[in-house]
């Protein structure tokens, strides 16, 4: 039986971890033994149960953070394929293994085109057999990492057909969550950390005016939570802001929203949270980071903020411009219902006919 190892950064919930789950699941019907090794947050194995459930051939899930222990394990197990995503220990070990005569078939998964992301792989670029990119930034890979072939596989996975949120369900969700029944409800649902920059969501909501209420739902990184708490306490929206923390069921949080606001400093192809909002008929506002601007058409159920860099927060003038643009639309019931319909149609169409699992199997078929 062939042995495939997935070397990943962490196993707590996130967009990259969803890609890992689906890649592991894509091999479930094949006679392939699977191991997963990871380097960060050993106490957070949020996705381990789903990995094992989606592929019964997952033999082990191991925390191997450092180059020495990961290298020793790879030397001993000698897998037939290594699928790598930002595991620094493995990346440091591979050149040493090659010097001692062990060169493993290597397929790294790249989520972002930014130079600072790609340079993490410079140490292994001469060992790579194939790159997998989650959107088409082949030119950047060629320029910075070399000529190994690239497979473009969008992380769009089959999902049950979702219904748009009905007005009555929207009102019920707002009552359940203690939100005002008047004015638009805007907010963010998902992992809340510095990269997601929730303070910019707050700054947008403040600029929006119109009696807006603000909603946050999701696990909060402690440092970001403290900064957000201080900003909310000093905000004119203090009494109209709800922070729900992690929820077992995110449906009410999404259902309550008129507008989903993402202000991330950087992203990969197209965050799952955007799809979850769109397919429920919730229009989104998002920056042109990662692959978002290549997929979403501005004004068609989604609205874009131009953002050329991947490090800084969205400038205040761009947040205010977005607020000036969206305020009259949100106040126009018929116009916003049209945007809701466009959002639902776009969100459900994204994943309907795309088979990322087959594309992944094709990309790694030579080693299976």
pLDDT in tens, 99-128: 999 999 999 999 988 898 999 999 999 999
CA–CA separation, 4 and 57 (whole Å)? 10
Reported as a single tens digit per residue, the pLDDT across 200-215 is 999 999 999 889 999 9
pLDDT tier for residue 161 given thresholds of 50, 70 and 90: confident
Given this model, what pLDDT does residue 249 score? 92
| Position 59 confidence tier, pLDDT thresholds 50, 70, 90 | very high
Residue-level pLDDT at 68: 98
Q: Give the pair of three-digit tokens for residue 162.
A: 């979702």
Which band of pLDDT confidence, cut at 50, 70 and 90, is reported for residue 226? very high
pLDDT grade, residue 268 (50/70/90)? confident
Residue 180, pLDDT > 90, answer no
Residue with tokens 């596989």: 153
What does pTM read for this prediction? 0.81
Q: Which DSSP letter does residue 29 get?
A: T
Residue-level pLDDT at 309: 81
pLDDT band at 79 (very low <50, low <70, confident <90, very high): very high
The C-alpha atoms of residue 136 and residue 156 are separated, in whole angstroms, by 14
DSSP letter string, 312-353: SPPPHHHHHHHHHHHHHHHH-HHHHHHHHHHHHHHHHHHHHT
By three-state DSSP, how is residue 301 classified? coil
Q: How many CA atoms lie within 13 A of 194 on its CB side?
A: 7
Instruction: Please answer whether residues 202 and 269 qualify as being in contact, where contact means their C-beta atoms are separated by less than 8 angstroms.
Output: no
């Amino acid at each position: 039986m062939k042995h495939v190892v997935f070397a990943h950064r962490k196993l707590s919930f996130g967009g990259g971890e969803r890609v890992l789950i689906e890649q592991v699941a894509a091999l479930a019907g094949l006679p392939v033994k699977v191991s997963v090794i990871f380097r960060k947050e050993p106490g957070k194995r949020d996705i381990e149960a789903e990995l094992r459930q989606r592929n019964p051939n997952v033999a082990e899930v191991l925390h191997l953070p450092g180059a020495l222990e990961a290298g020793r394990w790879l030397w001993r197990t000698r897998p037939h394929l290594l699928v790598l995503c930002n595991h620094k220990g493995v990346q440091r070990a591979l050149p040493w293994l090659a010097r001692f005569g062990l060169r493993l078939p290597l397929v790294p998964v790249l989520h972002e085109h930014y130079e600072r992301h790609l340079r993490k792989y410079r140490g292994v670029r001469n060992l790579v057999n194939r790159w997998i990119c989650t959107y088409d930034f082949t030119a950047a890979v060629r320029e910075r990492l070399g000529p190994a072939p690239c497979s473009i596989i969008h992380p769009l996975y089959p999902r049950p057909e979702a219904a748009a949120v009905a007005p009555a369900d929207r009102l019920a969700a707002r009552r359940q969550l203690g939100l005002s029944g008047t004015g638009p409800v805007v907010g963010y649902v998902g992992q809340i950390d510095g990269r997601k920059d929730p303070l910019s969501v707050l700054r947008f909501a403040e600029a929006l005016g119109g009696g807006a209420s603000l909603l946050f739902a999701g696990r909060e990184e402690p440092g970001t939570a403290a900064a957000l708490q201080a900003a909310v306490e000093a905000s004119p929206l203090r009494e109209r802001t709800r922070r729900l923390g992690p929820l077992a069921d995110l449906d009410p949080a999404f259902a309550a929203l008129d507008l989903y606001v993402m202000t991330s400093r950087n992203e990969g192809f197209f965050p799952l949270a955007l799809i979850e909002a769109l397919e429920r008929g919730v229009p989104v506002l998002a920056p042109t980071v990662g692959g978002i601007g290549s997929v979403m058409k501005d004004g068609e159920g989604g609205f874009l903020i131009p953002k050329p860099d991947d490090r800084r927060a969205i400038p205040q003038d761009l947040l205010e411009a977005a607020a000036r643009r969206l305020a009259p639309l949100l106040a126009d019931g018929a116009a916003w219902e049209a945007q809701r319909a466009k959002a639902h149609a776009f969100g459900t169409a994204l994943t309907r006919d795309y088979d990322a699992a087959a594309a992944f199997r094709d990309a790694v078929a030579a080693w299976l």
